[in-house]
Amino acid sequence: MKRWQFWLGVAISAVCLWLALRGLTLGEVWATFQGANYWLLLPGIVVYFLGVWTRAWRWRYLLRPLKRISTRRMFPVVAIGYMGNNIYPARAGELLRIYVLRRREGVSISASLATIIVEHTFDGIVMLAFVFLNLPQLARLTADSGFVGDIQTLTIWVAGVFLGVVSAFLLMAAMPSKASRVIGWFTDRLIPHRFRMKVREFTERFLGGLASLRSPVDVLIVLGTSVVIWLFETGMYWFVMQAFTFEVNFSAMMLMNGTVNLATMIPSAPGYVGTFDATGIAVLEAYGVARSIAAGYTLVLHAALWLPITLLGAYYMARESLSWGQVQEEMAREDTG
């Protein structure tokens, strides 16, 4: 709470919320809430959890060269990670699931970290594909809108970053010995002597975590699974839309999904408050949805994405007899040990 990064995220969230809701009255948004059929959220939540289960399967697949773990055992760890990202700052859920996985299965932190970075990289590629595939349709709807140009420019820059990271990972996975020698060369010249052994050990375990990318078939399986995960999540967007009084096509939901998730890369308060909402409302407005309806839908969608998985993750974390303070203390001991 005392760190400046936390308060910067809160400030960015506050500005984004102001941008998202400016000009709207509470009565307009409340009328949208009252007109929604909330029973229709249930199939969307089911579809979302199918995506979370698929995400657990993908992580299990990435970890397969290190240790075979069933999807059933991976699912609670993934749920804890979601919960952590939703209520703690700085995507602390990733640290939580790394810690819980090591505690339960004995997988090293550095190897787990490699698989999580691979996950996010492939997720980014799929999100960018969702945006690219649907920008032409959005451009036709909004004609001279600078909004489309802004998304396009951002997407091109972010795509270059993600593709560069993927290429580096594939090279490191295909040639682990050479990658180890190159990293070792830099380590010997840039890292103080007392830290070199730790860096070398971390590097070897990290490269071990990339083992699932050594086969082209495995790469395609991970990419295909990533597409399925994000289609499930887009399916939730579409099902939640059925509870409201507007309709856009599935490709518009793909664009919204890709865009809001790119926006959540911006520092914000826990749970991506503001960055998610402002972007989602803007996309729907570009498709001609009334602002009050777009705001009501986006806020309800955000709550439906946030609440069930957070409660489930909190339940699993309580079952592990874990607290965030305990995780921080143990990780700090490792860093200083």
DSSP string, 123-154: HHHHHHHHHHHHHHHHHHHHTT-HHHHHHHHH
> How confident is the model at residue 149, as a pLDDT?
56
pLDDT of 2 higher than 80:
no
Domain membership flag for residue 16? no
Q: Which residues contact 251 (CB under 8 A, 6 or more apart)?
A: 133, 134, 137
Domain membership flag for residue 27? no
Higher local confidence (pLDDT), 263 or 247: 247
Are 23 and 277 in contact, with CB atoms under 8 Å apart?
A: no
Domain membership flag for residue 60? yes
Domain membership flag for residue 267? yes
Domain that holds residue 329: 44-336
Mean pLDDT of the chain: 87
Task: Locate 240 and state its tokens.
Answer: 């939640």
Give the Å distances, CA to CA, from 270 to 12, 22, 83, 264, 295.
Answer: 11, 22, 10, 10, 20
Domain membership flag for residue 128? yes
Domain membership flag for residue 5? no
Give the Å distances, CA to CA, from 151 to 1, 146, 263, 273.
Answer: 32, 9, 10, 20
Tell me the pTM.
0.87
Where does residue 216 rank: exposed (0-12), middle (13-18), buried (19+ CB within 10 A)? exposed
Are 244 and 299 in contact, with CB atoms under 8 Å apart?
A: no
> How confident is the model at residue 54, as a pLDDT?
98
pLDDT of 170 higher than 90:
no
Higher local confidence (pLDDT), 66 or 337: 66
Domain membership flag for residue 89? yes
Highest mean pLDDT among 38-52, 195-209, 279-293: 38-52
Confidence of residue 129 (pLDDT cuts 50, 70, 90): confident
Name which of 283, 288, 309 is nearest 298 in CA terms.
Answer: 283
Task: Report the alpha-carbon distance of residue 86 to residue 314 in Å, rounded.
Answer: 11
pLDDT average, residue stretch 237-261: 93
pLDDT of 8 higher than 80:
yes
Domain membership flag for residue 269? yes
Task: Report the alpha-carbon distance of residue 229 to residue 48 in Å, rounded.
Answer: 9
pLDDT digits (tens, 9 = 90+) for 54-86: 999 999 999 999 899 999 999 999 999 999 999
- Taken in order 145, 128, 234, 313, the sign of the CA dihedral is negative
> How confident is the model at residue 121, as a pLDDT?
86
> How confident is the model at residue 317, as a pLDDT?
93
pLDDT digits (tens, 9 = 90+) for 186-234: 888 888 888 888 888 888 878 887 888 888 899 999 999 999 999 999 9
pLDDT average, residue stretch 267-273: 88
pLDDT of 336 higher than 50:
no
| Nearest-10 crossing angle of helices 41-63, 216-241 | 170
Overall domain count for the chain: 1
